[in-house]
Structure 1
Amino acid sequence: MKTDEDNTIASRRQFLKKLAWGSLMALSGSEAATAAVRHVIYPHRRGHSHEPAHPAYSHARKARPYVNTQPVLSPYLHAVEHKTLAFEHTHTGDKLKLTYFEHGRYIEEALREINYLLRDFRTDDVHPIDTALLDQLFFLKQTLGVNKPFHIISGYRSPFTNSWLRRFSHGVAEHSFHMQGRAIDIRLEGVSSKTIRNAALTLAQGGVGYYPRDNFVHLDTGRFRTW
């Protein structure tokens, strides 16, 4: 009899097979899709979370289906030919490096891979990530002058996970932008969180939260504000 872990692995392998096939297809005649992926690693087992486990998560393993949305171009991207980002998820061990914008358009298959990596790692729910958030990360990388992967502490959070986290921390907002795919918590190897925060402030885009105790910076696509 297959276990929940076996089903999760099988589902992930099926997802990756479909993704690999989709990456070979040109989008609307563009060659951008076939050139999007540079490097991707999805371990077959989930990484260990640094946060306390809770038995309630056993009832939330059914992944929400991917909802495709038509991305809106950021005005900052019109002057840039292509945009590349690299990620490393601290909880799952997933690694990804790709070009998500090229030849004046976002690359759908690249966005799907990013959505998967930034999924709710506790429930495996996948949600579209705001392309404006990806742009913030790209321009933050440019401002810092680094090509290192962003270490992901938290990307998308399902309502279930957000509600659960609020039981342990007053710092988790009831209507968090994480639940909309509009927020991310990050680190950069060899770069202090204070330096990341200061660079993000110079961009004056969205929310910038500084958490020196836990060594990470929060970014979101809400109105410009800091804490």
Structure 2
Amino acid sequence: MNDQDPVTVVVVDDHALFRRGVRAELETTARHTVSVVGEAGSVDEAVAVIAHRKPDVVLLDVHMPDGGGAAVLARTRPEHPEVVFLALSVSDAAEDVISVIRAGARGYVTKTISGRELADAIVRVRAGDAVFSPRLAGFVLDAFADRPGATGVVDPELDQLTRRERDVLRLLARGWSYKEIAAELVISVKTVETHVSSVLRKTQSSNRHELTRWASDRRLV
């Protein structure tokens, strides 16, 4: 996507009136920066529209009768890893926030958000930021923080990495060279290479770019 092009968006929500309202609001307040290219009212519709339109960002309702946002994420992210998901929900419950972020959404905002704020959130998640409504970020920090008392959420793929492998991956995903990582962690370049090879194997990644996306999806960066 060219920096001058509007961010393309698909709105997924089981309430047609709400979808129309979001579209109208974005067209009014952000027509030069955001373009709604599709809508869906169910999981099956969402999967089909995302595959057809290939939007930059999907605005995703958390609760829908046929599986909700988590089901959409599970069925679309493997095939379309380039699509970014931003949860847009009436719920501000910790378990809803944590589950949809764990499933792969890049942010979570509530439906009390204004049109301009929503447009800004869409642009920011497309650019790589993690965006949350006030106070919701605390839920995520608590759930993902590696500290005593945190609300742990199990991720088997992440848990298979050793602490040192996570350290190496985190720095690698930030763009550090092997030499810089070695100096920071006080290990040899050869040891860094060994850790990277292990991480590639465990995450089933084939290159640094895929590792960076993998780390970003799990908020290691």
TM-score range, shorter chain: under 0.3
Higher strand share: 1
TM-score for the superposition, normalised by structure 2: 0.27
TM-score, structure 1 length as denominator?
0.27
Which structure has the larger Rg?
2
